[in-house]
Amino acid sequence: MPKTQKITTFLWFDDQAEEAAEFYVSIFKNSRISRVTRYDEEASKAAGRPTGSVMTVAFELDGQQFTALNGGPVFKFTEAISLVVNCEDQKEVDHFWNKLAASGQEVQCGWLKDRFGVSWQVVPTALFEMLQSTDAERSKRAMAAMLKMKKLDIDALRRAYEGR
Protein backbone atom coordinates (compact mmCIF):
# COMPACT_ATOMS: atom_id res chain seq x y z
CA MET A 1 0.00 0.00 0.00
CA PRO A 2 1.52 3.37 -0.99
CA LYS A 3 2.44 5.75 1.79
CA THR A 4 -0.05 8.56 2.34
CA GLN A 5 1.33 12.01 1.71
CA LYS A 6 1.53 14.11 4.90
CA ILE A 7 -0.26 17.12 3.39
CA THR A 8 -2.82 16.76 0.59
CA THR A 9 -4.51 19.56 -1.32
CA PHE A 10 -8.29 19.32 -0.95
CA LEU A 11 -10.41 21.07 -3.60
CA TRP A 12 -14.10 21.90 -3.03
CA PHE A 13 -16.29 21.81 -6.13
CA ASP A 14 -20.03 22.28 -6.51
CA ASP A 15 -20.62 19.06 -8.45
CA GLN A 16 -17.70 18.80 -10.91
CA ALA A 17 -15.13 16.93 -8.77
CA GLU A 18 -14.96 13.87 -11.01
CA GLU A 19 -14.94 15.93 -14.23
CA ALA A 20 -12.18 18.16 -12.87
CA ALA A 21 -10.05 15.23 -11.68
CA GLU A 22 -10.41 13.52 -15.07
CA PHE A 23 -9.42 16.78 -16.79
CA TYR A 24 -6.31 17.28 -14.63
CA VAL A 25 -5.23 13.63 -14.94
CA SER A 26 -5.43 13.96 -18.74
CA ILE A 27 -2.94 16.86 -18.70
CA PHE A 28 -0.16 15.65 -16.38
CA LYS A 29 2.04 12.59 -16.96
CA ASN A 30 2.20 9.90 -14.28
CA SER A 31 -1.29 10.80 -13.06
CA ARG A 32 -4.32 8.75 -12.12
CA ILE A 33 -7.61 8.69 -10.28
CA SER A 34 -7.06 6.41 -7.32
CA ARG A 35 -10.46 6.34 -5.60
CA VAL A 36 -14.01 7.62 -5.98
CA THR A 37 -16.37 7.64 -3.01
CA ARG A 38 -20.10 8.19 -3.22
CA TYR A 39 -22.63 9.74 -0.90
CA ASP A 40 -24.43 7.07 1.08
CA GLU A 41 -27.91 7.69 2.47
CA GLU A 42 -26.71 9.20 5.75
CA ALA A 43 -24.06 11.45 4.21
CA SER A 44 -26.42 12.60 1.47
CA LYS A 45 -28.95 13.74 4.08
CA ALA A 46 -26.28 15.65 6.01
CA ALA A 47 -24.80 17.29 2.91
CA GLY A 48 -27.96 17.70 0.85
CA ARG A 49 -26.40 15.79 -2.04
CA PRO A 50 -28.07 12.95 -3.97
CA THR A 51 -27.54 9.42 -2.64
CA GLY A 52 -25.08 7.57 -4.88
CA SER A 53 -23.59 10.74 -6.38
CA VAL A 54 -19.83 11.31 -6.29
CA MET A 55 -18.66 12.66 -2.94
CA THR A 56 -14.85 12.63 -3.28
CA VAL A 57 -12.29 11.80 -5.93
CA ALA A 58 -8.74 11.00 -4.83
CA PHE A 59 -6.26 11.58 -7.62
CA GLU A 60 -2.56 12.07 -8.28
CA LEU A 61 -0.89 14.55 -10.60
CA ASP A 62 2.68 13.49 -11.31
CA GLY A 63 2.77 11.72 -7.95
CA GLN A 64 1.25 14.60 -5.94
CA GLN A 65 -1.96 13.57 -4.14
CA PHE A 66 -5.16 15.63 -4.26
CA THR A 67 -8.75 15.13 -3.20
CA ALA A 68 -11.72 16.74 -4.94
CA LEU A 69 -15.05 17.04 -3.10
CA ASN A 70 -18.52 17.66 -4.47
CA GLY A 71 -19.65 19.85 -1.60
CA GLY A 72 -22.18 22.09 -3.29
CA PRO A 73 -22.15 25.77 -4.21
CA VAL A 74 -21.24 27.03 -0.74
CA PHE A 75 -17.59 27.92 -1.49
CA LYS A 76 -15.88 29.24 -4.62
CA PHE A 77 -12.24 29.20 -5.66
CA THR A 78 -10.29 32.47 -5.46
CA GLU A 79 -6.81 33.57 -6.45
CA ALA A 80 -5.87 33.49 -2.76
CA ILE A 81 -4.52 30.01 -3.45
CA SER A 82 -3.03 28.66 -6.66
CA LEU A 83 -1.25 25.59 -7.93
CA VAL A 84 2.20 26.18 -9.43
CA VAL A 85 3.42 24.12 -12.38
CA ASN A 86 7.22 24.36 -12.66
CA CYS A 87 8.22 23.99 -16.30
CA GLU A 88 11.67 23.10 -17.63
CA ASP A 89 11.23 24.63 -21.09
CA GLN A 90 8.86 26.56 -23.35
CA LYS A 91 7.34 23.36 -24.70
CA GLU A 92 6.15 22.49 -21.17
CA VAL A 93 4.93 26.05 -20.55
CA ASP A 94 2.95 25.94 -23.79
CA HIS A 95 1.52 22.47 -23.07
CA PHE A 96 0.30 23.21 -19.55
CA TRP A 97 -0.85 26.75 -20.34
CA ASN A 98 -2.83 25.74 -23.41
CA LYS A 99 -4.50 22.78 -21.70
CA LEU A 100 -5.29 24.47 -18.38
CA ALA A 101 -6.41 27.78 -19.93
CA ALA A 102 -8.78 26.08 -22.41
CA SER A 103 -12.28 27.39 -21.63
CA GLY A 104 -10.77 29.22 -18.67
CA GLN A 105 -9.30 32.68 -18.22
CA GLU A 106 -5.76 33.86 -18.94
CA VAL A 107 -4.73 36.32 -16.27
CA GLN A 108 -1.23 37.84 -15.95
CA CYS A 109 2.35 36.90 -15.09
CA GLY A 110 1.87 33.20 -15.84
CA TRP A 111 -1.42 32.98 -13.90
CA LEU A 112 -4.66 31.53 -15.26
CA LYS A 113 -7.96 30.23 -14.02
CA ASP A 114 -9.06 26.91 -15.45
CA ARG A 115 -12.64 26.21 -16.49
CA PHE A 116 -13.47 25.11 -12.92
CA GLY A 117 -12.18 28.35 -11.39
CA VAL A 118 -8.96 26.89 -9.95
CA SER A 119 -5.99 29.29 -10.19
CA TRP A 120 -2.73 28.00 -11.65
CA GLN A 121 0.70 29.52 -12.18
CA VAL A 122 2.56 28.05 -15.16
CA VAL A 123 6.15 29.13 -14.57
CA PRO A 124 9.45 28.28 -16.24
CA THR A 125 12.15 27.37 -13.72
CA ALA A 126 14.45 29.71 -15.68
CA LEU A 127 12.40 32.66 -14.40
CA PHE A 128 13.24 31.83 -10.79
CA GLU A 129 16.93 31.78 -11.69
CA MET A 130 16.62 35.19 -13.36
CA LEU A 131 14.69 36.74 -10.49
CA GLN A 132 17.16 35.39 -7.91
CA SER A 133 20.24 36.68 -9.74
CA THR A 134 22.86 38.57 -7.77
CA ASP A 135 22.66 41.22 -10.52
CA ALA A 136 19.68 43.33 -9.38
CA GLU A 137 19.39 45.20 -12.71
CA ARG A 138 19.08 41.98 -14.69
CA SER A 139 16.46 40.64 -12.27
CA LYS A 140 14.56 43.93 -12.48
CA ARG A 141 14.43 43.73 -16.29
CA ALA A 142 13.16 40.14 -16.17
CA MET A 143 10.48 41.13 -13.64
CA ALA A 144 9.39 44.09 -15.79
CA ALA A 145 9.09 41.81 -18.84
CA MET A 146 7.11 39.21 -16.88
CA LEU A 147 4.64 41.83 -15.65
CA LYS A 148 3.67 42.55 -19.28
CA MET A 149 2.93 38.92 -20.14
CA LYS A 150 0.06 36.52 -19.65
CA LYS A 151 1.62 33.21 -20.79
CA LEU A 152 5.33 33.42 -19.98
CA ASP A 153 7.78 33.43 -22.88
CA ILE A 154 11.22 32.18 -21.81
CA ASP A 155 13.08 33.70 -24.79
CA ALA A 156 11.51 37.13 -24.22
CA LEU A 157 12.27 36.93 -20.49
CA ARG A 158 15.87 35.97 -21.23
CA ARG A 159 16.26 38.82 -23.75
CA ALA A 160 14.99 41.30 -21.16
CA TYR A 161 17.23 39.77 -18.49
CA GLU A 162 20.27 40.12 -20.76
CA GLY A 163 19.33 43.65 -21.77
CA ARG A 164 18.70 42.84 -25.46
CATH number at residue 58: 3.30.720.100
Confidence tier at 2 by pLDDT (50, 70, 90): low
Is 42 found in the same domain as 98? no
C-alpha span between 42 and 46 (Å, rounded): 6
Quick: pLDDT tens for 73-98.
999 999 999 999 999 999 999 999 99
Is 87 found in the same domain as 156? yes
Phi/psi for 45 (5° steps) reads -65, -45
CATH number at residue 100: 3.10.180.10
The domain boundary residue, chosen from 40, 70, 100: 70
Helix, strand, coil shares of the chain as percentages rounded to 5? 35, 25, 40
The domain boundary residue, chosen from 48, 70, 92: 70
Phi/psi for 112 (5° steps) reads -150, 160
Is 63 found in the same domain as 27? yes
pLDDT(148) > 60: yes
Kindly state whether residue 3 falls inside one of the protein's structural domains.
Answer: no
Q: Number of folded domains in the chain?
A: 2
Confidence tier at 8 by pLDDT (50, 70, 90): very high
Is 131 found in the same domain as 93? yes
Residue ranges making up the domain that contains 130: 82-162
Is 66 found in the same domain as 86? no
Cβ contact 147:108 at 8 Å: yes
At residue 5, the pLDDT reads 85
What is the percentage of the chain residues whose pLDDT exceeds 90?
95
The domain boundary residue, chosen from 47, 70, 93: 70
Kindly state whether residue 77 falls inside one of the protein's structural domains.
Answer: no
Is 97 found in the same domain as 124? yes
Is 122 found in the same domain as 63? no
Kindly state whether residue 1 falls inside one of the protein's structural domains.
Answer: no
